[in-house]
């Protein structure tokens, strides 16, 4: 690592600060990253964004522990503002951030299947973007009953404690949750270079699965915990293969759709549960957009009628509309059906780790066994201490009068304990205990009652020692606790399960009429779709002043379109997304229609067909890349692909290779080159730079390329090359023409 270099000190020109010197330090970027950025990144990962094996982030843990210390587990509710203020002793953040944490953990917000905060007042709703919570001074809260299982035996050395941020008090590093809360509570976080997204599972299913897993490590987890459970309900479209992949790897996605019912008398569809990943406002906004663009014509109106009874989205239908087909369409085109992405990234001993469900249960079991072992050891030490005191008391029982005489005849208070130790052969701890006994209790009956516990204590100690040395016993303790929790907290499953093969998928293309069209793209990015009949009846194509035709070809209404831009991006669209047009209009402006970035320009328009052909990308530096069109085919409805082609040189031509064909390239020095596309090998990466095709002189560039049959070159053999790269030949006058210019013009 390079040493810091201190530049020459410069005096300030300001006479008011004479004597002060400015010191400028030069520091290598690698050193800046290591000394300045890495500590921040590690802090975000370890102390903020990623949940730990107890299922909590630090902010959750600090809030709940503060409420526990405030006596809010069994006491009455207190103002949320009071809780927020007390939490600042452990969490040095503003009140807004702490209150947001409390809101998410609350019963009222409905973000968790097993909420930890028993709330009173308006805490907002997770399924609403606009329904915000009331201020902390208006709401009240306490801990939910299930927090008794979260803090079980926390005072028995089950977990480690550490200093808070200013060292004024102690806080637990983890909470000794008696159930796998890491799977029960949904959690998400974005750290530096990594993220975490954990879906929630039903408490009773998790407990049952953990019990079976502790008894049989080969237990089929899917048989007792078939799928996640979301607090907003809905229905999971169940794909066992995908679910097995999520359970195994900790990554994947779960499809969730809304629940609805049709009210025949009112001709209304009522949506009463929506996916966990969306909001009622997002659904209404999307439906309104689809109605406005004419993509949905079956709906008269859609209203949000959510009240104290819960979520309700009402959709007024037009006469004769089939509600089932409409909902299939809405599932396809809106977030009424959405995917929950899973990324089970959890901190284990301070290290982030993406784990499957079985591995999470394994880690939680090992951690919980350590908590129980520490609790047993704590109880064992307490009982041993008590037995030790009672053993000393037994010796006093042999001669109570002697003990009284020793105490009475001792002149100095400091000599009472040493004299008792010598008189009865007991140690200092036992002597201190005897010396502290009240005068009224120095009688045979009291001492006999105390020492009667000795045999029972010895049996208990023997049992506890046997438990410490037997992992099976510790597992049995965990199983018994899980059974109690399962019996005490019965939480019905909220999210239904619908098998994927039973779901009828809506195919939008089947609803779209297919007919031949001709597509036109202007140099400035205006697009027109004209039917064959309209094209026969129309006259000259209309363009803006200074604009003209860039490309045109025949297609059909159900085909896909690939739009290449100058930002190495590709936009996907369907031909039916655009209204039929006429030659007498300008058409739609693609940068606006496709919501391109500011200043982004359209370079080319391609009909990919069935994505089985190849694509030839020709660049300004004389290189060309042959890429399979399937590289641009996506299974999802993504409308924008970044890194669509290499950014090493500007793109000059995009040619679909239906078969092997001869391609003509043109350079800025009036040279032309003709080669067969068979000379180029297919690249596997979209961002491939390609191979040198046209050998260019200094300060010369490739200006365009096109199939030879689309150019005015007559003497093809003059420019043909049999190996690449080649310089080509100077164009003769008879081979020149405007059509020789690039299909992608500046």
Region 659-683 average pLDDT: 93
Helices 400-409 and 416-424: crossing angle in degrees, nearest 10, is 150
Are 708 and 674 contacting, i.e. CB atoms less than 8 angstroms apart? Answer: yes
Label residues 199-237 b or e (16+ Cβ within 10 Å = b).
bbbbbbbbbbbbbbbbeeeebebeebbbbbbbbbbbbbb
Cα 226 → chain centroid: 21
pLDDT on residue 21:
52
Strand order in the sheet with 662-667: 702-707, 662-667, 671-676, 729-730
In the predicted model, is pLDDT for residue 8 greater than 50?
no
The model's confidence at residue 24, banded by pLDDT at 50, 70 and 90, is: low
DSSP string, 582-632: -TTS--EEHHHHTTPPTT--EEEEE--TTS-SEEEEEETTSEEEEEEGGGG
pLDDT in tens, 255-294: 999 999 999 999 999 999 999 999 999 999 999 998 987 7
What mean pLDDT, rounded, does the chain reach?
Answer: 89
3-state secondary structure of 211: helix
Region 144-167 average pLDDT: 94
Cα angle 187, 305, 127 (rounded to 5 degrees) comes to: 5
pLDDT in tens, 30-78: 888 888 888 889 989 988 899 999 999 999 999 999 999 999 998 899 9
Q: Which domains does the chain have, with CATH numbers?
A: 5-42 (no CATH), 50-173 (3.90.199.10), 259-335 (3.30.1360.40), 365-487 (1.10.268.10), 508-740 (2.120.10.90)
Pairing of strands 623-628, 682-683: parallel
263 contact partners, CB below 8 Å, separation of at least 6: 269, 270
Cα 486 → chain centroid: 29
Pairing of strands 516-522, 560-565: unpaired
Are 225 and 292 contacting, i.e. CB atoms less than 8 angstroms apart? Answer: no
pLDDT on residue 27:
78
Q: What percent of the chain has pLDDT over 90?
A: 64
Q: Who wins on pLDDT, 393 or 681?
A: 681
Pairing of strands 313-317, 671-676: unpaired
Label residues 483-501 b or e (16+ Cβ within 10 Å = b).
eebbeebeeebbbbeeeee
Region 115-139 average pLDDT: 94
In the predicted model, is pLDDT for residue 738 greater than 50?
no
Region 210-219 average pLDDT: 95
Pairing of strands 662-667, 345-348: unpaired
pLDDT on residue 742:
47
Region 86-103 average pLDDT: 93
pLDDT on residue 521:
93
Going by C-alpha positions, the residue among 624, 645, 654 that lies closest to residue 725 is 624
Q: Which of 186-195, 210-219, 538-547 has the lowest mean pLDDT?
A: 538-547
In the predicted model, is pLDDT for residue 238 greater than 60?
yes
Region 670-687 average pLDDT: 92
Full-model pTM: 0.74
pLDDT on residue 476:
95
d(CA 500, CA 336) in angstroms, rounded, equals: 16
Q: What percent of the chain has pLDDT over 70?
A: 94
Q: Indicate which residues carry an active-site annotation.
A: 138
pLDDT on residue 10:
41
């Amino acid at each position: 690592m390079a040493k810091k270099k201190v530049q020459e000190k410069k005096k300030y020109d300001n006479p008011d600060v004479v004597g002060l010197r400015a010191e400028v330090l030069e520091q290598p970027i690698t050193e800046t990253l290591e000394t300045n950025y890495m500590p921040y990144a590690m802090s975000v990962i370890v102390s903020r964004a990623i949940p730990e094996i107890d299922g909590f982030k630090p902010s959750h843990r600090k809030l709940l522990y503060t409420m526990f210390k405030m006596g809010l587990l069994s006491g009455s509710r207190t103002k949320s503002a009071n809780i927020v203020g007390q939490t600042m002793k452990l969490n040095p953040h503003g009140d807004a951030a702490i209150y947001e944490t409390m809101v998410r953990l609350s019963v009222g917000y409905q973000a968790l299947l097993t909420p930890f905060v028993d709330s009173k007042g308006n805490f907002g709703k997770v399924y609403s973007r606009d329904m915000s919570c009331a201020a902390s001074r208006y709401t009240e809260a306490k801990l939910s009953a299930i927090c008794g299982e979260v803090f079980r035996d926390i005072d028995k050395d089950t977990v480690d404690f550490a200093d808070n941020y200013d060292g004024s008090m102690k806080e637990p590093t983890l909470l000794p949750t008696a159930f796998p809360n890491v799977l029960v509570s949904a959690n998400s976080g974005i750290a530096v270079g990594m993220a975490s997204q954990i879906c929630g599972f039903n408490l009773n299913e998790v407990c049952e699965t953990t019990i079976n897993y502790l008894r049989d490590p080969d237990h089929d987890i899917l048989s007792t915990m078939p799928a996640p459970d979301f607090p907003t309900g809905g229905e999971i479209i169940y794909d066992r293969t995908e679910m097995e992949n999520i359970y195994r790897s900790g990554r994947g996605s779960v499809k969730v759709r809304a629940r609805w019912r049709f009210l025949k008398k009112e001709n209304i569809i009522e949506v009463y549960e929506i996916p966990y990943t969306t909001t009622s406002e997002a659904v209404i906004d999307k439906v309104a957009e689809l109605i406005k663009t004419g993509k949905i014509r079956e709906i008269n109106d859609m209203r949000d009628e959510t009240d104290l009874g819960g979520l309700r989205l009402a959709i007024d239908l037009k006469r004769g509309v089939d509600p089932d087909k409409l909902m299939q369409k809405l599932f396809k085109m809106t977030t009424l059906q959405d995917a929950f992405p899973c990324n089970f990234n959890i901190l284990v001993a301070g290290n982030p780790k993406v784990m499957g469900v079985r591995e999470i249960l394994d880690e939680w079991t090992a951690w919980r066994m350590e908590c129980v072992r520490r609790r047993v050891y704590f109880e064992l030490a307490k009982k041993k201490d008590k037995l030790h005191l009672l053993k000393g008391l037994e010796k006093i029982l042999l001669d109570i009068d002697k003990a009284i005489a020793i105490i009475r005849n001792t002149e100095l208070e400091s000599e009472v304990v040493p004299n008792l130790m010598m008189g009865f052969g007991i140690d200092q701890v036992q002597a201190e205990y005897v010396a502290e006994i009240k005068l009224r209790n120095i009688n045979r009956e009291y001492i006999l009652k105390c020492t009667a516990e000795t045999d029972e204590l010895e049996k208990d100690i023997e049992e506890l020692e046997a438990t410490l040395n037997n992992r099976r016993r510790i597992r049995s303790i965990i199983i018994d606790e899980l059974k109690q929790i399962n019996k005490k907290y019965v939480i019905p499953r909220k999210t239904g399960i619908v098998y994927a093969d039973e779901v009828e998928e809506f195919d939008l293309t089947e609803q779209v009429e297919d007919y031949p069209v001709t597509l036109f793209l202007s140099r400035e990015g205006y697009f027109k779709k004209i039917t064959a009949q309209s094209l026969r009846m129309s006259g000259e194509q209309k363009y803006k002043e200074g604009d003209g035709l860039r490309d045109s070809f025949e297609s059909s209404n159900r085909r896909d379109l690939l739009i290449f831009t100058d930002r190495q991006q590709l936009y996907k669209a369907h031909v039916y997304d655009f209204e039929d047009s006429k030659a007498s209009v300008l058409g739609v402006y693609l940068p606006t229609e496709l919501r391109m970035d500011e200043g982004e320009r359209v370079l080319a328009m391609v009909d990919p067909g069935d994505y089985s052909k190849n694509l030839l990308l020709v660049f300004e530096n004389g290189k060309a890349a042959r890429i399979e069109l399937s590289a641009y085919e996506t299974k999802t409805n993504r409308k924008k692909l970044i890194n669509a082609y290499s950014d090493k040189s500007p793109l000059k031509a995009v040619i679909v290779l239906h078969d092997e064909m001869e391609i003509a390239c043109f350079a800025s020095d009036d040279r032309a080159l003709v080669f067969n596309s068979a000379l180029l090998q297919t690249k596997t990466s979209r961002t491939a730079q390609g191979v040198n095709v046209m050998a260019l002189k200094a300060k010369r560039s490739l200006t365009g390329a096109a199939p030879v049959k689309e150019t005015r070159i007559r003497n093809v053999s003059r420019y043909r090359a049999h190996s690449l790269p080649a310089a080509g030949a100077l164009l003769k006058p008879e081979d020149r023409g405007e059509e020789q210019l690039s299909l992608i013009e500046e």
